[in-house]
Amino acid sequence: MPTITLDAISKQYSQQATAVQNVDLHIPSGDFMCLLGPSGCGKTTMLRMIAGLEHLSHGRLYIGDQLVDSPQSGCFVAPEKRGLGLVFQSYALWPHMTVEQNIEFGLRLRKLSERERRARTGEVMEKLGIAGYAKRYPSQLSGGQQQRVALARMMVLKPKVLLLDEPLSNLDASLRLEMRAELKRLHQAFDTTILFVTHDQWEAMTLATNIAVMSKGQLQQVGSPDDIYARPANRFVAEFIGNPPINQVAADTALGGRLARQPNTHMLGIRPEDIHLAPDATAHTLPAKVRGIMPTGGSWVLDMEIEGQCLQLSTQIRPQVQAGEHTYCQIQPQHVHLFDAAGSRLEHTAYHNAVPTSFMHAV
Amino acid sequence: MIGWIFTALPTKRGLQLSLKDPATLLGIGLLITFSYLILAPVISILMDAVNVNFGDSNRIGTPQGNFTLYYLERVFTSPISQRLFWQPLFNTLSVALGAMCIAMVIGGVMAWLLSRTNLWGRGWFATALIVPFMLPTWTFALAWTTLFKNRSMGGQPGWLESMGYSSPDWLAYGPVPMVLILALHYIPLVILLFGNALRRLDSQLEDSARILGASRSTVAFRIILPLMRPALMSAMVLILADALGEFAVPYILGLPVQYDTLSTSLFRAISSRQTGVASVLAGAIMVLGCITLTIDLYLMREARRFVTLGGKGAMERRRPLGVWRLPATLLAASLFVVGVVLPLMTLFLSTVMRIPGRFNLSNFTLDYWIGTNLDTIALSNGILLTPEFWSATWNSLRIVGTASICAGLLGLLVGYVVTRTPWRWLASTLRQLTFMPYLVPGIAFAAATLSLFAVQRGPVPALYGTSLILMLALIADQMPFASRAGISAMTQLGKEPEEAAQISGASWLKRMVSIIVPIQKGALVVGIVLPFISGIKGVSLFIILAVPATEVLTTYSLRLVDYNYTQAANAVVLMIALLAWGGTVLTQKLTKTGLAQGLES
């Protein structure tokens, strides 16, 4: 299982249009890495460059120890020679071939014997639960089955690296859940390195061992799901990950001033679940007004007004307040994220020292 | 602009990669091919218009090949310019405009009746009224002469004549029958284009206007008509452009009374070997064609702005006609009778009657189809027993068939290159180059092809008289349809299926053979059959480029017209109509789409 190494790679379509800018990324062998970002952030372009369907404009790309694309040295290894598997968002099944023929195609190209082809095709269809559909055409299958065929078509070649381009986005909610579990299982069963592109943070958080967050062609942060959620590298990552989204309060507002004494240009971020309802006023609470309550089934999202700021609060405990009522909130200072003027996260220690004593004793 | 240059000029690495890219290499090959097939003939004929041609050096006083304005002056300003150009231009425009007006009015009403009302037999009429468009125009012209021909022409008299009424010249020949016949031919086009637009119109738009208090007429004039304007204008322009190049109808109905149009004038110039004059005339027809179709392109772009409206609300809703239901249905029925039944019956009856217009049993015979030892000099057997007929049929099928298959394949390849090459200029140049013959009426394009291939040029021998020149001209002429079909098919397919094969390890050739072509089988069939039908019934290319050895059905039937073998000529035309109609029905069966979609794509 090879590692994939992206060394300062960029992709420019024209002078104006830069899709990927100076990305360094190391995908360890056997990893389930997820490229996460809003649509148009360049993640699919990255995937296609790794697959060899797009050429780099700058930088170097290695698969294992082999340099596969480098404009400087003029090296370029064609996609069919990279030994990768790629599953497209649209599945791209060949409509004129049956399921079996679709899966067999790559094996035929490798001139495998009939017996071996049958064995491998049968095995992979069995593993993916589509053995009963061998003679059907793609148009006769449901979306989930087509998805499995697309996976099977790549898996049968036993690729060392499997690239998946938003493979779940065309499925309905329940199927998506099922396939997600399936992918996780497949990752272990087939023992491959998987690179997965999605714009769905939930998908990324549940599936990946590591997440690379991208925005506007640039890599924002790489880390484990927990790490990215708990310590977002910058405001973009903090905003993009989390539902309901992180609350943001400018440092120069009344609330901001109470939470942390910081230069006016800084921003504070508070996750909705880090704001807690408190029945009574204490030294550590702030007065708040409930503007609305939205049950989401199992948890509740409350629209709060605290010190003139609108914040969202989420809780697993049924709130004992009504819309329009006044109540109190508590925010643990160590859970407040702090971002500087450029949007970068300031580390906890720096922030800690800055917490104003006034807050500790006020109200 | 500067940005464009940057993208247009690939970097060194871009160039290296692109030259390894099969789509780009293929594109360069296609670019060279089409430059030769399409651009070179047009340039050649434009050069002929301003250079001294073979045999004219004495008259003009400059050696052959030198620059001259002689031909331009002759066509546009000399004393005979009136007869060469201005009168034919006036005739062409008046026939085209007349036909357009009638077709728009009748076709517009029919389109509305068919798509928006509870007319009896709507579904049936929707197909039946399209039939005239599948028939060659001169089917009607021949039927007309069969009925109305008078003593101004030799040969067998028309039915009216032999029944004792002599039809006046203005009714038998010239602009009146030409306008009526072309109008009949174009009514289906209006029904298709306008009817589609009407059907696509979201009825919620009308409903919301009605709810806001607008009266029916306000809705019609303030909502529907403005939205329909692009479709109407586009139909008008397409009719104009097509009528400009119409050759067979003026040839049959105009020549007997010296009513020349630009295309017959061009034909005369070519047959009397006035190459320079012919080149100028061809150039003039091209310019007119370009002007009208540029207008159309502009209008279609306008129309696209409206298309997005559609969606779920575009529910079909029909208006009850009330007491008008019966008269409206009768109107549609009579159009069908005049446009389809009458001409085809006339033609058919004429082929089984010895003396035109005499309806007693002894006058009927199948001799003209299957008889032997007839007393006509050049055609002693019935048409089905005449070897020339079969060799013309074989030529038609062979030449048109080969050209259509080539055009279909080339169209798919153009589609492939346009959607795949990273060189944007290559894609757009190919797209425009293959569209160019659409701007050039067939007869002018034939003249252009002749001008390029009539003599030996470099390693290419003179091709005049071979079937190859016909095939080349046909391929070029059919490229607009073929490449449009190819581009839209490839755009719909997207890149992924091919990339999936590439990732699986397939080489380019393997991808083309096992993935692209099989998937595009349907589109390929359409891209071959549609040009085939239009090629089978086409006249203008063949009339210039065919010689007796390469005679096809259309030229054969026109020759029979010239010999005044009315029955035989009509029989051949009926066979062509049968081929064209059969081919259209076959396409519809194969692709499960209406003709309407085919016309619009």
> What is the edge-to-edge ordering of all strands in the sheet holding A193-198?
A84-87, A161-165, A193-198, A32-36, A210-215, A218-223
Residue of A16, A50, A55, A165 best to disrupt the B interface, most CBs of B under 10 A? A55
Amino acid code (one letter) for A297: G
Q: What is the pLDDT of residues A283-318, one digit of tens each?
A: 778 889 999 999 988 899 999 998 888 999 999 998
The answer, for B494 touching chain A at a CB cutoff of 8 Å, is yes
Q: What is the pLDDT of residues A67-120, one digit of tens each?
A: 999 988 888 888 888 888 898 888 888 888 899 999 999 898 888 899 999 999
The answer, for B6 touching chain A at a CB cutoff of 8 Å, is yes
The answer, for B515 touching chain A at a CB cutoff of 8 Å, is yes
Q: Which residue does chain A place closest to B494, by CA atoms?
A: A92
Q: What is the pLDDT of residues A137-169, one digit of tens each?
A: 998 998 888 988 998 898 888 888 899 998 888
Q: How confident is the model at residue A6, as a pLDDT?
A: 93
Q: Which CATH class is domain A244-361?
A: mainly beta
Cβ distance of A106 and B505 shorter than 8 Å: yes
Q: How confident is the model at residue B416, as a pLDDT?
A: 92
The answer, for B510 touching chain A at a CB cutoff of 8 Å, is yes
Cβ distance of B518 and A80 shorter than 8 Å: no
pLDDT band (50, 70, 90) for residue B19: low
Q: How confident is the model at residue B305, as a pLDDT?
A: 55
> Nearest-CA neighbor of B128 among B140, B155, B110, B141?
B110
Cβ atoms B414, B30 nearer than 8 A: yes
Cβ distance of B505 and A110 shorter than 8 Å: yes
Closest approach of B436 to chain A, Cα-based (Å)? 29
Instruction: Tell me the pairing of strands A32-36 and A58-63.
Output: unpaired
Cβ atoms B143, B347 nearer than 8 A: yes
Q: How confident is the model at residue B407, as a pLDDT?
A: 92
Cβ atoms A56, A9 nearer than 8 A: yes
State yes or no: ipTM above 0.90: no
Cβ distance of B7 and A14 shorter than 8 Å: yes
**Dist CA B521 CA B28 (whole Å):** 24
Cβ atoms A344, A329 nearer than 8 A: no
**Whether domain A4-235 has CATH 3.40.50.300:** yes
Question: What is the pLDDT averaged over residues B147-173?
Answer: 78
Closest approach of A156 to chain B, Cα-based (Å)? 10
> Nearest-CA neighbor of A208 among A30, A21, A10?
A30
The answer, for B16 touching chain A at a CB cutoff of 8 Å, is yes
Peptide bond into A244 cis (omega under 30): yes
* Closest residue to A16, CB basis, from B3, B17, B510: B3
The answer, for B525 touching chain A at a CB cutoff of 8 Å, is no
Residue A97 to residues A133, A156, A300, B568: CA-CA distances in angstroms? Answer: 12, 16, 49, 50
- Say which residue, B537 or B508, is predicted with more confidence: B508
Cβ distance of B497 and A51 shorter than 8 Å: no
Cβ distance of A153 and B504 shorter than 8 Å: yes
Does the pLDDT of residue B1 top 60, yes or no?
A: no
Q: What is the pLDDT of residues B245-294, one digit of tens each?
A: 888 899 888 888 889 998 899 888 888 888 888 888 888 888 888 888 78
Count how many pairs of residues, chain A against chain B, have C-beta atoms within 8 Å.
75
**Dist CA A305 CA A292 (whole Å):** 10
Q: How confident is the model at residue A1, as a pLDDT?
A: 59
Residues of chain A whose beta carbon is less than 8 angstroms from a beta carbon of chain B are: 14-16, 51, 53, 55, 71, 74, 76, 78-81, 84-86, 88, 90-96, 105-106, 109-110, 150, 153-154, 157
Q: In this structure, what DSSP letter does residue A234 have? A: B
Domains identified in chain B and CATH numbers? 21-51+390-592 (1.10.3720.10), 81-308+316-355 (1.10.3720.10)
Angle among Cα B101, B106, B111 to the nearest 5 degrees reads 120
Token reading at A182: 């399936």
Q: Which residue does chain A place closest to B11, by CA atoms?
A: A57
Token reading at B428: 């757009």
Question: What is the pLDDT averaged over residues A192-198?
Answer: 91
Instruction: Tell me the pairing of strands A66-70 and A218-223.
Output: unpaired
> Nearest-CA neighbor of B59 among B280, B276, B265, B278?
B276
Q: What's the farthest any 2 CA atoms get from each other in chain A?
A: 80
Q: How confident is the model at residue A53, as a pLDDT?
A: 87
Q: What is the pLDDT of residues B31-44, one digit of tens each?
A: 999 998 888 888 88
Long-range contacts of B318-322 (CB under 8 A, 24+ apart): B318/B116, B318/B117, B318/B118, B319/B116, B319/B117, B319/B118, B320/B117, B320/B118, B321/B117, B321/B118, B321/B119
Q: What is the pLDDT of residues B451-487, one digit of tens each?
A: 888 778 777 788 888 888 889 999 998 888 888 888 8
Question: What is the pLDDT averaged over residues A189-216?
Answer: 89
Cβ atoms B182, B99 nearer than 8 A: yes
Q: How confident is the model at residue B168, as a pLDDT?
A: 82
Q: In this structure, what DSSP letter does residue A246 have? A: P
Does the pLDDT of residue A256 top 60, yes or no?
A: yes
User: How many CA atoms within 13 Å lie on the side-chain side of B34?
Assistant: 28
Q: How confident is the model at residue B350, as a pLDDT?
A: 84
* Closest residue to B502, CB basis, from A15, A55, A80: A80
**Dist CA A256 CA B37 (whole Å):** 74
* Closest residue to A90, CB basis, from B494, B503, B518: B494
Which of the residue ranges A126-130, A158-162, B213-217, B452-456 would you say has the lowest mean pLDDT? B213-217
Does the pLDDT of residue B439 top 90, yes or no?
A: no
Closest approach of A325 to chain B, Cα-based (Å)? 44
Query: What percentage of chain A's residues is helix, strand, coil (to nearest 5)?
Result: 35, 30, 35
Contacts of A157 in chain B (CB under 8 A): 504-505
Question: What is the pLDDT averaged over residues A172-176?
Answer: 80
Token reading at B95: 């026939």
Closest approach of B601 to chain A, Cα-based (Å)? 23
* Domain assignments of chain A as residue spans, ordered by start: 4-235, 244-361
Q: What is the pLDDT of residues B330-361, one digit of tens each?
A: 999 999 998 888 888 888 888 888 777 777 77
Calculate the average pLDDT of chain B.
Answer: 81
Sign of CA pseudo-dihedral B396, B397, B399, B401 = positive
